[in-house]
Amino acid sequence: MGDREAKHLIAESRDYTVHAIRDVGDVAGAIMDATCNVLAHALEGTRATGSELRGLVTDTIVGTVHGVALVEGEVELAASSIMVGALRGAEMTGAVGIEAVSATAVALVKGAADVGGDIGRTAKGAVEGAIRGARDIGLTAERAASAAASGAMIGAGEISSAALDQVRNVVSQTISGVKVVITES
């Protein structure tokens, strides 16, 4: 995927999210639906795997995070809904799995950093969303939580060592009743 295509997908995702949030009262539901729809559209008709799948997921999620920030929403609070929406969108196209969970968490943390959000709280929200959406995509809560936590740490590590420490401290705890086990990717 070229840089121009990535910028287009980020802008499309951002704009779609802004309109969805402004048009309804249920912000969490709107974020979930917007993420689901934009990601399903981005993945539709592709056989994306590996870096191409990660790129499509990343661009969609970063655009969604930017959209939430544009309407003065709290990215940290929206992270769980974004994760659930991403899992549903990926499932609609058959691209769901550990890789989609991890890629979404990476993008959430990096997107939160882009807009000045709290990356620790965003990482926790990503794990909470993975736990909420796990059953819908055929994963155990533990496996989804582990993939999200590992992805969040990858994203934080790409930001700075201080960000990595912050995220590690948050995601290495029990979240939503699930003991999170971080796997090395």
Which pLDDT score is estimated for 137? Answer: 82
Residue 20 pLDDT grade (very low, low, confident, very high; cuts 50, 70, 90): confident
Does residue 126 contact residue 148 with C-beta atoms inside 8 Å? yes
Distance (Å, whole) CA 164 – CA 154: 8
Within a domain: residue 184? no
User: Residues 173-178: what's their mean pLDDT?
Assistant: 91
Within a domain: residue 40? yes
**Looking at the whole model, is its pTM more than 0.95?**
no
- Give SS3 for 1: coil
The tens digit of pLDDT for each residue in 36-86 reads 888 888 888 777 667 777 888 888 899 989 988 888 778 899 999 999 999
Which pLDDT score is estimated for 184? Answer: 60
User: Residues 153-179: what's their mean pLDDT?
Assistant: 94
- The dihedral built from the CA positions of residue 10, 20, 46 and 114, taken in this order, carries a sign that is positive
Which pLDDT score is estimated for 1? Answer: 54
Position with higher pLDDT, 13 vs 154: 154
Identify the domain containing residue 131 by its residue range: 3-179
Strand-strand pairing, 178-179 and 174-175? antiparallel
Within a domain: residue 185? no
The tens digit of pLDDT for each residue in 124-144 reads 999 999 999 998 888 899 999
Residue 25 pLDDT grade (very low, low, confident, very high; cuts 50, 70, 90): low
Which pLDDT score is estimated for 95? Answer: 67
Within a domain: residue 123? yes
Within a domain: residue 55? yes
Quote the strand ranges of 61-161, DSSP E. none
The C-alpha angle 116, 101, 147, rounded to 5 degrees, equals: 95
The yes-or-no verdict on residue 117 having pLDDT over 90 is: yes
The values of phi and psi at residue 95, to 5°, are: -100, 15
Which pLDDT score is estimated for 12? Answer: 81
Buried b (16+ CB within 10 A) or exposed e, 85-118: bbbbbbbbbebbbbbbbbbbbbbbbbbbbeeebb
Q: How many domains does the chain have?
A: 1
Distance (Å, whole) CA 149 – CA 5: 28
Within a domain: residue 79? yes
- Greatest mean pLDDT range, 14-18, 118-122, 176-180: 118-122
